[in-house]
């Protein structure tokens, strides 16, 4: 891997790591506040147990999604640093499948909470695209030129 490409990847990983950690803090605070509002309203006592269960489930899903992102970024960081214990063949080197959001259940959540859940989904998608791009075989400039010439003929 060229030094410049490695430098760009390192900067991307660091920026995404900061973004993921901030989003994780924001999600933690938002879900905790929503749980407290539910308790204050007496949701469980008023027969709104389904809303509390939905909140707990989506809280776990969002947390899991963010934990996968953060673990992937930490592993990628270790790989870029040349850590011998971190290789591209490790299971942690793959972001895996996303944890799906149940948007029907989330419809009853406040807008800021839905925004955080959606942001975690988008960040996961960005990481998956980044991983796919980094793992794609590089096309040599000569091959690109030949492909353009071939397309013209």
123, burial (CB in 10 Å: exposed 0-12, middle 13-18, buried 19+): middle
pLDDT tens, residue by residue, 18-36? 999 999 999 999 999 988 8
pLDDT tens, residue by residue, 45-95? 444 788 888 899 999 999 999 999 999 999 999 998 889 888 888 888 899
**CATH number of the structural domain spanning residue 59:** 1.10.8.930
Instruction: Write the Ramachandran bin of 128: left for phi over 0, alpha for psi from -120 to 50, otherwise beta.
Output: alpha
What is the spatial distance between Cα 7 and Cα 1, in angstroms, rounded to a whole number?
10
Give me the domain span that covers residue 61: 3-152
Please give the tally of structural domains in the chain: 1
Percentage helix, strand, coil for the chain under 3-state DSSP, each rounded to 5: 75, 0, 25
Between the two ends of the chain, the Cα-to-Cα distance in Å is 34
pTM greater than the 0.85 cutoff: no
């Amino acid at each position: 891997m060229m030094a410049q490409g490695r430098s760009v990847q390192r900067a991307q990983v660091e920026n995404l790591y900061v973004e993921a950690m901030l989003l994780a803090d924001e999600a933690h605070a938002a879900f905790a506040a929503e749980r407290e509002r539910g308790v204050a309203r007496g949701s469980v006592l008023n027969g709104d147990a389904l809303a509390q269960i939905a909140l707990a489930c989506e809280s776990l899903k969002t947390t899991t999604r963010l934990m996968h992102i953060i673990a992937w970024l930490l592993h990628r960081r270790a790989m870029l640093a040349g850590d011998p214990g971190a290789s591209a063949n490790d299971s942690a080197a793959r972001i895996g499948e996303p944890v799906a959001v149940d948007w029907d259940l989330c419809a009853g959540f406040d807008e800021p909470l839905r925004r955080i859940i959606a942001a975690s989904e988008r960040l996961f998608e960005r990481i998956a695209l980044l991983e796919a791009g980094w793992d794609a075989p590089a096309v040599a400039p000569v091959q690109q030129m030949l492909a353009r010439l071939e397309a013209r003929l």
